[in-house]
Chains A and B, each alone.
Chain A
Amino acid sequence: MARITASVYTSHVPAIGAAIDLGKTAEEYWKPVFAGYDFSKQWIQDQKPDVIFLVYNDHATAFSLELIPTFALGTGPQFTPADEGYGPRPVPVVFGHPELASHIAQSVIQDDFDLTLVNKMDVDHGLTVPLSLMFGQLDAWPCRVIPFAVNVVQYPVPSGRRCFMLGQAIRKAIESFDQDLNVQIWGTGGMSHQLQGARAGLINAAWDNQFLDRLIDDPTGLSQVPHIDYVREAGSEGIELVMWLIARGAMADVAGGQKPTLRHRFFHVPASNTAVGHLILENATT
């Protein structure tokens, strides 16, 4: 059977992708950001996941105002890196896992979550920057990736509670797939940042670190935090953090299993406009 072995949480700041693509990772400004992922790169080489279920948000790339799905599951065979206005990032095409994705769709929709299924879409920095951070620069990604896009651009976005419950349904779906697959689930975006108005540049390191603490130890409590707290405390774009609760909801302890092991924790300010946060939680091997 397929099993979720670990969850990874990371910011997906576009400037990080640009720093990688333009060979700036050794610059003083960027060094501490990338140093925070040294452990993770080694870890994922050892883990060798077969599939990553990657929760991210589309930044007005695949979805314009013509169509705004709250939860969009990539069921297609492949997804091309998007041209977001600078030309496409020089990163490999993302290969999906249509069979597993369709199985997840069937299970999760029948579990009362009304997903939108997407067979064709380009993927933007929200998806490709986390892959670059964890795998570095490669000619091909070493595993399959199922994109899962969440609307956090146009209000109302889904609540943290809804995201956390959805994660639980995704866990049930993945763990009932009858191929023997090592699956990781990633939650991306955040941490505190605001990209607009006179309040642009807002960072709230204390709030972010409390979010990390609670994501590890009290995800159920954390899932009750209302939108307005994210916006007021972590900035208008800090709302992306609700996506981390999808990944956390898919961990074994939420379904009555063992508490995950914290393998890595990292926090740094700034990357461009944003506080960078990163966690790795591993499920116990059974």
Chain B
Amino acid sequence: MALDKPYLDIPGTIIFDADQSRKGYWLNQFCMSLMKADNRARFKANERAYLDEWPMTEEQKQAVLARDLNWCMRLGGNIYFLAKVGATDGLSFQQMAGSMTGMTEQEYRDMMIRGGRSVQGNRYLGEDGDAQPHRQPQGRNAQSDQKGGA
């Protein structure tokens, strides 16, 4: 019997379950290594060489090099692990979370100050909230990217 996943119908959300964890094992373990200052320095000095020390897939390495957190998460990354990469870059959690929405840093920060993203229309796939697939990317980037869709 497959794992029961009642959470697959939530838009814009990847739950870090056993399948994702298996897929992302080395990606996440690489992230853990950045909790040591020496490793952060070595990673920053030559990212590609550092990544090549890990048995990650080529796509996982590309996603890290691109700092595309949504891509990393699709490949099994988890935000608390990926946050070590963000910390190495000197980013806050707000900058990291915001980067996944397509909004600019200021747009995301303003949304939070206004009370955050509403749950209305964002509970189930197929509704019309701002986190739904057909409304990506968000913010002013939405106009500059007419192709839309993420």
Contact = CB atoms under 8 A, between A and B. Distances in A.
Query: 10 closest pairs, A vs B, by CB?
Result: A203-B116, A85-B87, A198-B12, A199-B12, A199-B131, A60-B80, A155-B17, A197-B12, A200-B97, A201-B117
Contact of B18 (A60, A82, A154, A270): A154
B103 to A, nearest CB: 8
* Main SS class of interface, A: loop
Contacts of B138: 198
Contact of A200 (B100, B124, B133): B100
Contact of B98 (A66, A84, A199, A200): A200
Nearest to A156: B17
Contact of B123 (A83, A192, A194, A233): A233
A47 B51 CA distance: 51
Contacts of A154: 16-18, 21, 78
B119 interface: yes
Interface string A57-81: 0011100111000000000000000
B13 A199 contact: yes
B112 interface: yes
Contact of B87 (A86, A231, A272): A86
Interface in B59-83: 69-70, 73, 78-81, 83
A272 B112 CA distance: 7
Interface residues of B, number: 61
B116 A59 contact: no
Contacts of A84: 35, 83-84, 87
A61 B16 contact: no
Interface string A76-100: 0000001111110000000000000
Contacts of A201: 97-98, 101, 108, 111-112, 116-117
Contact of A196 (B13, B29, B132): B13
